[in-house]
Amino acid sequence: MSGILEGRIAIVTGAGRGIGREHALELARQGAKVIVNDLGATADGQGASDGPAHEVVALIREMGGEAEANGADVADFEQAEAMVRQAIDSFGGLDILVNNAGFLRDRMLVNTAEEEWDAVIRVHLKGHFAPLRHAGAYWRAEAKAGAQRAARVINTSSGAGLQGSIGQTTYSAAKAGIAGMTLVAAAEMGRYGVTVNAIAPVARTRMTEAAFADMMAPVDDGFDAMDPANNSPVVAWLASEEAGDVTGRVIEIEGGRICVEQGWTHGPSRDLGRRWESAEVGTALRELIAQGAVPEPVYGAG
């Protein structure tokens, strides 16, 4: 197989179903050798099965590509390290890390249990950190040894993390954390030839089927704007050597639309040159808020 990723070696986490599955297939179509990671859990993170990862591996091999399955819990530090080592040992290195694994435990804030918070933060936020930490250490060592790779990381944030989403306090916090991690990792790892970007995908998957129940069918022209595969060409390009000048970006993908997100920036300010008196703050802060941009509404807000 040949394409814009020919000869490159990739890991895709959460690649047994949904968006991750389409990423793994597209990277393989473009010539990458792929470690297909999936724990095989349910949509809310329960249980495990090696079936989904092996099914995707079989599809890649049927296309003439190279792939291996991996069943690591990506939020387990040692298992994440072993996953990175599998790519190096099996295919001779690692060029691409696509962090995608996750699940939902949606609740309104006051109904969220501590266990639900811990589980979602763990799989999304630590599940991005652990593979990135070990892949980053490998790429740093390669660079110091004079064998710098054109490495690429694509993380998975969400509109819920960028604009917020009613009923998804925990998920939104995790996805916002991933966006912040992306910015810092891009700044730290550029010296080793690594770019780090994130996507905010929109798709109909088993995690979102209830929310998108009214958008199940393709539109009249046959284009299904909610197809998970719509996100994967952007990931494939970001994973290519050509994309070496793009880093520290969060890109929203919705059907055929791509949007470069603009996060926190410094807005209107006022400096008194001394400590503020408590009674002074209200008037000044209201004036500054009036001068600034109006925030986008939280998803699901009235």
Report the C-alpha gap between 97 and 11 in whole angstroms: 5
Q: Is 158 a catalytic residue?
A: yes
State the first-to-last Cα distance of the chain, in angstroms, to the nearest integer: 49
Report the C-alpha gap between 128 and 156 in whole angstroms: 9
Q: Is 175 a catalytic residue?
A: yes
Backbone angles phi, psi at 121, to 5 degrees: -60, -40
Report the C-alpha gap between 45 and 33 in whole angstroms: 27
Q: Which of 126, 138, 157, 171 is catalytic?
A: 171
Q: Which of 157, 158, 165, 172 is catalytic?
A: 158
DSSP string, 253-282: EETTEEEE------------SSPPPHHHHH
Report the C-alpha gap between 1 and 12 in whole angstroms: 18
Q: Does residue 24 contact residue 56 with C-beta atoms inside 8 Å?
A: yes
Q: Report the candidate in 61, 95, 90, 65 with the shortest Cα–Cα distance to residue 1.
A: 65
Q: Is 2 a catalytic residue?
A: no
Q: Which of 33, 172, 175, 240 is catalytic?
A: 175
186 contacts: CB under 8 Å, gap ≥ 6: 195, 196, 197, 247, 248
* Residues carrying an active site annotation: 158, 171, 175
